[in-house]
Amino acid sequence: MATEDKNRATAAAILPLVGGAANVSSIAHCMTRLRLGLHDRSLVQDEALKAVPAVMGVVEDDTYQIVLGPGTVARVTPEFEKLVEAGRAEAPAPAAAPLTAEELAAQGAEMRAARKAKNATPFKLFLRRIANIFVPLIPALIGCGIIAGLNGLLVNLGWLPSVTPALAAMASGFMALIAVFVGYNTAKEFGGTPILGGAVAAIIVFPGVANIEAFGQKLSPGQGGVLGALGAAVLAVYVEKWCRRWVPEALDVLVTPTLTVLISGLVTIFGLMYVAGEVSTAIGTFADWLLSNGGAGAGLVLGGFFLPLVMLGLHQALIPIHTTLIEQQGYTVLLPILAMAGAGQVGAAIAVYFRLPRNESIRKTIKSALPAGFLGVGEPLIYGVSLPLGRPFVTACVGGAFGGAFVGFFNQLGDAVGSTAIGPSGWALFPLLDGNHGLGATIAIYAGGLVVGYLAGFVATYFFGFSKDLLAEFNVSQEAAATPTATPDPATTATASATPKEPAAV
């Protein structure tokens, strides 16, 4: 089957299982998941969805998320959108229902409110907004990070000296202006005019701020970085909304943008840049101190608890921290340690494969998901293997802890291992690695951490990941399990019927 037909077939298989086109209110996707807004969650057939070959799992949050994996989700989503549009065109109006429109609306509002109350705690909503600001920037961070790594290799080897300056410009251009993009996305996320958020954030990277003094110090271009841009854009949104309420409509087009940029800009220059700069410096200093002094212990905790953070959605809070470290140091020292959680997951999955030799279904899932796991995409293994089994999820965290401790130990010795971008993990992180003692040493330490994570995850899961009851429940053939439901053998039935029954004991 051609790739395009395969993607269309996947989309066609998913659509009826989420209630059809009429039940889909919004469609979006991230790096691995198709994210759907649904009118009625009760129409979704979860188990049937999980059985679709391309579906690696489902996650329910403020949106219904179908895990398809990197690459696949970007190709299936357009096909899904086409099918939804076609479905709406064929059936523009819903079928008549016994409920009135008011009752139907009230029922839908009640269901949405219950779902949101379940998932939308203020902290999680805040983290989701942070993710919505930074996740769209990840493709550019990855592309520029890989170019930066290639440029560093060419410079070290002394090759193509006429090309390396151009590569440096390509790699650094986005990072030099990342504050503008953060400001744009922040204003968009908080309900303001995106370009005004970008305009206020652009003040931070403007070279002319070097001539301005604040708190008795000369400002420097880029001071405050993405945190300053985030704060400046949020302030701009509130100023803009205030203006929209009080400025007459006839003057709105002139006054509102002017006051938004003026007020927010002055606060940014004479307050936010300095404060955010101090916070950013503190983050960098703390990260260096943590790994220099905590070393293996810090790596153990970070690597061991990252998978639970991902499950709770709290890992999104780390995105601005990673970005700040990349701005300051050229790389984030936290990501390679956190990536060890994926290594522990891979090791645990391999152990499950050997511990359940009779369970063809789980072994098939592991074989199909392992390549993605080695490349740092852990969701298929998490949702398809370790999490449903329970204990193997814990032992996978143990593997991540040991891998993180290995990388953290070398950080304590002075060998910093960092990543020039965020997003990739596992083997996919190799092109983005950077450090303070040469690329060879950095790659060797990171590779050693992966090996330790694989081995620790495997050993912990193989020996401690299964209780006797768990093995008895899951180490069975699916075909054998289905045998009792088959039609009984006539001879056996006849024999059983002819055998006299013992009288009940009195």
Q: Which residues are the active-site residues? A: 30
**Residue of 307, 308, 179 lying closest to 231 (CA atoms):** 179
Helix (H, G, I), strand (E, B) or coil at 254: helix
DSSP single-letter state for residue 499:
S
Q: How many CB atoms lie within 10 A of CB 501?
A: 5
Determine contact, residues 272/232, Cβ cutoff 8 Å: yes
C-alpha 386/C-alpha 400 separation (Å) is: 14
Helix (H) or strand (E) holding 110: helix 101-119
Structure tokens at 253: 């087009």
118 alpha carbon, distance to own chain's centre: 21
CA 192 to each of CA 98, 109, 146, 148, 344: distance values in angstroms, whole numbers, following the listed order: 41, 26, 33, 34, 42
CA 285 to each of CA 9, 282, 328, 413: distance values in angstroms, whole numbers, following the listed order: 51, 5, 10, 17
Structure tokens at 96: 């008549």
Query: Please, what is the angle between helix 122-134 and helix 319-329, to 10°?
Result: 40
C-alpha 282/C-alpha 288 separation (Å) is: 10
C-alpha 247/C-alpha 253 separation (Å) is: 9
- The amino acid occupying position 52 is V
DSSP codes, 357-400: TT-HHHHHHHHHHHHHHHTT--HHHIIIIIHHHSHHHHHHHHHH
Structure tokens at 32: 């691995």
Structure tokens at 246: 């009080």
Count CA atoms within 13 Å of residue 264 on its CB side: 33
DSSP single-letter state for residue 31:
S
C-alpha 448/C-alpha 452 separation (Å) is: 6
Residue 34's φ and ψ, nearest 5 degrees, are: -85, 120
Q: Are strands 217-218 and 433-435 parallel, antiparallel or unpaired?
A: unpaired
| E strand segments, 87-235 | 213-214, 217-218
